Amino acid sequence: MRTTSVADDDEGISMSTPPTVLVTGASSGIGKGFATRYARQGHDVVLVARRADRLDALAAELENAHSVTATVVSADLPDPTAAETIGEHLDREGIEVGILVNCAGFGTAGPFIEEDPARLADEIAVDVVAPTLLTRRFLPSLVAAGTRGALIMVSSTASHQPVPNIAVYAACKAYVTSLTAAIWKELSGTGVRVLALCPGPTDTEFFEAAGSDRFKSDGSARSTRSSTPRSRPSTVAVIPS
């Protein structure tokens, strides 16, 4: 349940209510971790992914454990209308998103010349187009949340350099880190925190979804750079307590 507002600000967000957090990729792995952590801290959450059964189970678990409202939105993110459809749905429900975690993603691996073009198109749509359009759709409400607003883009250590055999995945993540850095600069003075999370190999369903062990042998585990230049936003995700 939402906590009762003491006084609403001009944008209609209660100053006493933690902002609602939209997490894409909430059905497993890192996204599920973000959703769980935020709910534990009293944030209402919007859970987005394709597997509605998993989202429903997580929503029930979070609502029971933490007395928050968890809204499930089952969506296939390669659909270029997904961001607007999700936004319109939440508008109708009266849900204003103050924190956006763009986490959904997957990778393809193998020599570029052998890659399936349709799968590459899907990868670019999920890893690049979807977080771009979701960020564009929700950025005004993040800015309205001011210092309580946050944008977290889940990128990768693979974003810091070209990586043969996961060329498209690394290029997608380079885009994500670059986009995040630019938005971070544009939002300076708004109070909104902007973070590019760049994980190394993390034990999730990612490798199973990729259908290849090349990520373990060639991928972000072998990244030679573990930090970003000072002109970029923090690459460490910090969920405020």
Ligand X SMILES: NC(=O)c1ccc[n+]([C@@H]2O[C@H](COP(=O)([O-])OP(=O)(O)OC[C@H]3O[C@@H](n4cnc5c(N)ncnc54)[C@H](OP(=O)(O)O)[C@@H]3O)[C@@H](O)[C@H]2O)c1
For the CB of residue 90, give the shortest distance to ligand X in the complex, in Å. 16
**Among 22, 30, 68, 128, contact with ligand X (rule: CB under 6 A):** 30
29 contributes a contact to ligand X by CB under 6 A: yes
Least CB distance to ligand X at residue 121 (A): 12
- State the minimum distance, in angstroms, from the CB of residue 50 to ligand X: 3
| Contact pick of 110, 146, 191, 201 for ligand X (by CB under 6 A) | 201
Among 20, 36, 141, 156, binds ligand X (CB under 6 A): 156
State the DSSP string of the chain: -PPPPS-B-TTS-BTTSPPEEEEETTTSHHHHHHHHHHHHTT--EEEEES-HHHHHHHHHHHHHHH---EEEEE--TTSTTHHHHHHHHHHHHT--EEEEEE-------S-GGGS-HHHHHHHHIIIIIHHHHHHHHHHHHHHHTGGG-EEEEE--GGGGS--TTSHHHHHHHHHHHHHHHHHHHHTTTS--EEEEE---S-SSSHHHHHT-SHHHHHSGGG-S--S--TTSPP-S-----
Task: Give, as ranges, the residues between 98 and 137 that touch ligand X (CB under 6 A).
Answer: 103-107, 126
Q: Is 49 in the site for ligand X (CB under 6 A)?
A: yes
Q: Which of the residues 27, 32, 159, 173 is marked catalytic? A: 173
Residue 18 found at the interface with ligand X (CB under 6 A)? no
Could you tell me how many residues of this chain bind ligand X (CB under 6 A)? 29
Which is catalytic among the residues 27, 28, 155, 156? Answer: 155
Say whether 173 is catalytic: yes
Report the amino acid identity of residue 63: E
**Does residue 31 interact with ligand X by CB under 6 A?**
yes
Chain contacts with ligand X (rule: CB under 6 A): 25, 27-31, 49-51, 75-78, 103-107, 126, 154, 156, 199, 201-202, 204-206, 209, 220
